[in-house]
Amino acid sequence: MSGRGRGVLLVLCGAIFLEGIDVAVLNVALPSIRAELGLSTGELQWVMSAYVLGYGGFMLLGGRAADLFGRRRMFLLPLAVFLVFSGLGGLAGDGWTLVLARFVTGTCAAFLMPAGLSVITTGFPAGRQRTTALLVYSGTGGGGFSVGLVVGGLLTAADWRWVFFAPVVLAALILAAGLPLIPRTEEARGTEEIRTDGAPAARTAAGQRPRLDLPGAVTVTAAILLFVLTVERATHAPPVQTLATLAASLLLLLAFVLIERRSPAPLVRPGIFRTRALVRANLTGLLFTAGFFGFQFIAVLYLRELRGWSTVRTSFAMLAMGADVVLAPLLTPRLVRRFGTARVILGGLLLAAVAYAAFLPLGMDRAYAAMFPSVLLIGVAFALVHGPLTMTATDGVAEREQGLAAGLLYTSLQFGAALGLSAATAVATAVAGAATAPGDAGLLSAYRTALLVPLLTAVLAVLLSPRERRRRRLRPLTPPKPALCGPAAPDGRGE
């Protein structure tokens, strides 16, 4: 990989690290934010939900926009807006300013992430360079989240507003480096072979600028927004409201399908779902992230509420989950080259299932040494699953649809996170409410039961994980005649 190629990869890794750390640092700052701004529980929930809504709701549109209007443009412009509104969050004097800032930064991430991934899948040459770039990229994202858990505790100890100001500094550095490094054209430059849809937007064969399918964009974005809202609010909203938003989401999704079938230039080409590897990768990613975030949520509650651990101590206890930031670029590429992506993904999913099962026997005095193997194995599993899934989801997809494929994958990952959190919360709440044991014993039973959610999702992911491609053997049109037939081909295949 050339020096410029490494520079481009560094910028892209910085962006996904920023996204990971931005999500994690806020989690530990919520109590301090509530105390200073006097927020109700509902307002505090919206500070978290607003980011998820923007991120999940606009991800598919962001991925397609990168294909149509240029990956460089859709990377740098949202990054600049992200910088401004993250700073606005740090200056907020009331809860709803924070909600607005989080919604806009989530929306920026929805455009930023698919554009960054598609720069790699279209810019780095297929083979060892692209494989390494994808695995380093995905490992950096997971590492950012893990580091953010610790950094969030340290920043909150100083002042919760630094949780918003620190990403501003990082975003400014990435933007300053990205302006000269992210290339403007799709042409290979020397031996770097770094190509993007830069400033000139992609054009059709007739020389016309491609049009965005606005009816499709509006309906699918509204459908996803309502669906994410339904999932996020399912555990603490009235059942009637939940059913109403779900029904509206499904109706809009049906309208989107009808629009796409008739559109001459659809936002999502229906035929893309005939790619089995892409579909399996998306389903696997959804289930894997559901388990990952569901486990983390319950484990943190267990350590904080039942064991009475401090924010910083809990953050350091979960830090081993960041093992992927080291393993993804060093170990995973070798395993992929030797065993293939499907087997590596399957191995990671099995490790995750083992880790969740090993964490199940919780107790009020369980030593951290007994929990550490599970936390570490989950980090290893992330390194084995996330990067190879990214490769599988974009492999075989036409270059003009790489942004769309990236948007589909990130949408699945975001849905998985929301579903995992909601399912684990719902189970824990239901069991705690029905528990006959008082106090801590009831909570312990609730957390044990809720940990079955990530275990179940890991098992389902194993069953649905991508499979290795098998080459089809061509049969002769007529059976060979023994007396006249020459020796068979060494591998039995036709020409």
d(CA 402, CA 393) in angstroms, rounded, equals: 10
Question: Is the pLDDT at 40 greater than 80, yes or no?
Answer: no
The string of DSSP codes covering 235-275 is: TTS-HHHHHHHHHHHHHHHHHHHHHHHH-SS-SS-GGGGG-
Q: Per-residue pLDDT tens for 432-441? A: 777 655 567 7
State residue 420's pLDDT score: 85
3-state helix vs strand vs coil in the chain, percent to 5 = 75, 0, 25
Q: Of the given ranges (20-24, 88-92, 240-244), which has the lowest mean pLDDT?
A: 20-24
The structure tokens 């397609």 sit at: 64
SS3 at position 169? helix
> How far apart are the C-alpha atoms of 305 and 440, rounded to whole Å?
9
Indicate left, alpha or beta for 200 from its phi (over 0: left) and psi (-120 to 50: alpha).
beta
DSSP 400: G
Q: What is the pTM (predicted TM-score) of this model?
A: 0.77
The predicted-structure confidence for 198-253, as pLDDT tens digits, reads as follows: 333 344 444 455 567 778 888 888 888 788 778 767 767 788 888 998 999 999 99
How far from the centroid of its chain's Cα atoms is residue 73's Cα? 21
* Predicted local distance difference test score (pLDDT) of residue 374: 93
365 CB burial (10 A radius; 0-12, 13-18, 19+):
exposed
Distances (CA, A) of 266 to 210, 255, 277, 396: 11, 13, 21, 20
Burial of 154 (0-12, 13-18, 19+ CB in 10 A): middle
| pLDDT for 495 | 32
- Using CA atoms, how far residue 261 sits from 62, 213, 256, 383, in Å, is 21, 12, 9, 38
Tally Cβ neighbours within 10 Å of residue 86.
25
Confidence of residue 491 (pLDDT cuts 50, 70, 90): very low
> Has residue 127 got a pLDDT over 80?
no
